[in-house]
Structure 1
Amino acid sequence: MKKIVILLLAAIYAISGELEDLYLKGGIAAVQQKIEKNLQSKEYWDNALKDLNLTYGYYSNSDRLIIVVDKTAKEISINKYENGAIKILKNNEIITGLMGEKLVEGDLKTPVGVYEITRRFTPPTTYYGPVAFSLSYPNLYDKLRKRTGSGIWIHGYPMEGDIRENEVETKGCVAMKNDLLLSFEDVVQNNKSIVIINEKGYPKAKNSDIAIIFANLFAWKDAWTISDLDRYLSFYSSDFRRFDGMRLNEFSAMKKRVFSKNESKIIEFKNITIVPYPNTEGKNSYRVSFDEKYRADTYKFDGNKVLYVNIENDQMKILIEE
């Protein structure tokens, strides 16, 4: 998808000759400034994304598997994007825990949200089938909302004795019959897949939401780069929490001190992923992750950054920053 966006941008300017004119008049800095301005435009992203099926989000890495669980229909689907379209690789029947969002250890509920498969392993007993996949519950969003519990797996049925044919619930995990699990394993293998778990139906992202997130993400980066504090903070929710629990008032004071140094900064984002984040509260939420390169006089960073955001009044509002 990233290649599509780059080619579209190049095609637009190849016709107009605008990039060449900018380069002749202002050098490469002027060209970069024009591109950065376009990346902050929702109209640009609306056009760039219009022909793509973004039902399950935007993935720079098209090899990433997207596993979608519908707790109500008791279905699991393995998908991937190919040339802007969704390809279904596998669709299986499952059983899950109780309905509702998981709140505390022992409530027997399968969590609702976005997780990653952290490892493939052989379960400690044959009760969980021949193989299992652990999920990254609780994620940071769960932890900061005081959600507890652990050991949420995708696993099989007992390999001996009771095979749970009449059992309608697990203890919060996602389980499938062993022949289906082995077929599932053949597709997933050790791929660190995204797992989207929803309460009713599969989540459906909107292209217009993803356009807003892209435009706001680059506008947020621009404000950060030039130390425009007010504009930078305008992208944060009043309910914001940083990874360490810092709330918005403390975060704002800290950023004010940092921005007052007026350091020159280089900030680059790549490998962007935007995933719809299911919830039972009716919020329009997404999980945004990307690789960040940050360079300033007093601090350097290279690593992955994760944001949990809401779309409110056609603007991205950051809830959690990791």
Structure 2
Amino acid sequence: MSSLFLWGKRGACLLALLMLAPPARPIISDPAKPRFLEEKAGIASKGTPEQRILSAIDHIRNGNLADARATVDALLKEQPNYRLAYLLSGDLYAMRAMPLNTMGAGAGSTAAAERIADLRKEALARISSRMTQAPQTRLPAHLLVFAPQQQYAILVDAEASRIYVFKNVDGVPTYVTDHYATIGKLGSDKFREGDQRTPLGVYFVNGHLSRPYLDKTRGAQADLYGVGAWPISFPNEIDKSEGRTGSGIWLHGVPANTYARAPWASNGCVAMSNEEMLDIAQYIQVGQTPVVIVPKAEWVTKVEWQSRRDAALSLVDGWREEWESLKTQPYLNRYAKQFKSDDGQDLARWSSQKISVSAGKSWSKIRLDNLSIYASGGPNPRLTTSFKQDYRSNNLDNQMNKRQYWQQEDGIWKIIFEGAAA
């Protein structure tokens, strides 16, 4: 029977086959001959739906078709809308009659080629995630400083189609869980309304749209969001200053007749299976939980993470100390050439105003509370700092929630945007 398991036996080529091999029509065997040998009863693997789909793929790769069949059947009984499981089920039946050279070759319909390709991509994303154990052994370089009230943070790896939850344990991001997720049809780095891309950057969950509310306000369209939606703060302050447009970027579930969508299939939102969206939801604090969306997650040792955290804290405290000590020029040197304030001032106007204000000060005291620092990735990495600023001087007392965005200029971290936090 080993000839029936070609796509399973070629484990080293599996990832390439998932992405590149075209679907093929099954060849009908001679009806006068037995079509397949009777399959013994298998043992179904246990675990989450994702663990079981990966277990079924492992069984096929190892030639254990009976266990693969039992696992897929049990999974479909529990999740009757799991399309990837149906694809494997079709392959398992086809393998009884002929060898298959790739996942989905048993489907036999060229009209379904695009959907089969999407399912291959989903399988690839799930397999690739299992091969990367970094979240359990290393720390995310993007989650540097939690504000005390922020119990959890969410990290979205756009390239891996993966969403992670980390808990604030004495300031250290500690892994809680992760799930497969769908992002925009055209990928990430959203720039304008309707471009079907998922934004990159640091955002905050700023609402919860329950399913009953969506049913009332969206009618039949409510089913698109499954169990509900959790809007995030796109466009944020820096997005607006760069002319980025759009709205309605949410974390949400999927329609009732779908277990999971393809890795790139939304209009820009981050979507998960309904079961997994509810799992993520229990860690969300509306108005507090950061959602950091990066092109590719970076995992570092705790020593490296601590070094980056200390450096980020030093940046912010250096800025605060120079401002408080009325060291006007060193303070202004902290701002980038392309700096913009929330009221539209460029660096020249900002500097002129600050010099004038500083001239009237004899002393000042500045305290920063509820400080958080998160790092986005990509070709132009940024630091997003948020805090409650308590400013006191000889002629002014002021408290405000402030946000800064830092970016490297000639290898030095500088502030490119500063203003009131939305």
Gap change, CA 1:257 and 1:80, over 3 Å in 2: same
Partner of 1:90: 177
Query: How big is the shift at 1:299?
Result: 2.5
Partner of 1:288: 385
Instruction: Select which of 286, 290, 293 maps to 1:197.
Output: 293
Instruction: Select which of 267, 281, 292 maps to 2:366.
Output: 267
Partner of 1:24: none
What is the CA–CA distance in structure 2 between the aligned matches of 1:116 and 1:88, rounded to whole Å? Answer: 19
Query: How big is the shift at 1:211?
Result: 2.6
Could you tell me whether the CA contact under 8 Å between 1:221 and 1:267 is conserved in 2? yes
1:117-196 pair list within 5 angstroms: 117-122=205-210, 123=214, 124=218, 125-159=222-256, 165=261, 168-188=264-284, 190=286, 192-196=288-292
Q: Which runs of 5+ in 2 are unaligned?
A: 1-137
SS at 2:307's partner residue?
helix
Amino acid at match of 2:202: V
Which region of structure 1 is more displaced relative to structure 2, 233-242 or 121-130?
Answer: 121-130
Calculate the TM-score normalised by the size of structure 2: 0.59
SS at 1:188's partner residue?
coil
Amino acid at match of 1:179: E
Amino acid at match of 1:73: A
1:235-250 pair list within 5 angstroms: 235-250=334-349
Instruction: Select which of 75, 98, 106 maps to 2:194.
Output: 106
Higher helix share: 2
Larger Rg: 2
Partner of 2:307: 208
1:316 aligns with 2:413: yes
Which region of structure 1 is more displaced relative to structure 2, 149-158 or 123-132?
Answer: 123-132
Partner of 2:103: none
What is the CA–CA distance in structure 2 between the aligned matches of 1:168 and 1:310, rounded to whole Å? Answer: 29
Query: How big is the shift at 1:190?
Result: 4.2
Partner of 2:350: 251
1:65 aligns with 2:141: no
Higher strand share: 1
Amino acid at match of 1:199: P
Gap change, CA 1:86 and 1:259, over 3 Å in 2: closer
1:27-66 pair list within 5 angstroms: 55=141, 56-61=143-148, 63-66=150-153
Q: Deviations over 1:276-313 (max 9, x none)?
A: 123x3x22321111221111243321122111002456
Gap change, CA 1:162 and 1:85, over 3 Å in 2: closer
**Identical-pair percentage:** 28
Instruction: Select which of 192, 203, 211 maps to 1:115.
Output: 203
Which region of structure 1 is more displaced relative to structure 2, 70-79 or 166-175?
Answer: 166-175
Gap change, CA 1:191 and 1:233, over 3 Å in 2: closer
Count how many residue pairs are aligned between Structure 1 and Structure 2: 268
What is the CA–CA distance in structure 1 between the aligned matches of 2:299 and 2:343, rounded to whole Å? Answer: 29
Instruction: Select which of 77, 102, 111 maps to 2:164.
Output: 77
SS at 2:366's partner residue?
strand
Calculate the TM-score normalised by the size of structure 1: 0.76
Q: Deviations over 1:41-60 (max 9, x none)?
A: xxxxxxxxxxx957321124
Report which structure shows greater RCO (CA 8 Å, sep ≥6).
Answer: 1
Could you tell me whether the CA contact under 8 Å between 1:157 and 1:177 is conserved in 2? yes
Could you tell me whether the CA contact under 8 Å between 1:203 and 1:276 is conserved in 2? no
Query: How big is the shift at 1:127?
Result: 1.9
Gap change, CA 1:134 and 1:166, over 3 Å in 2: closer
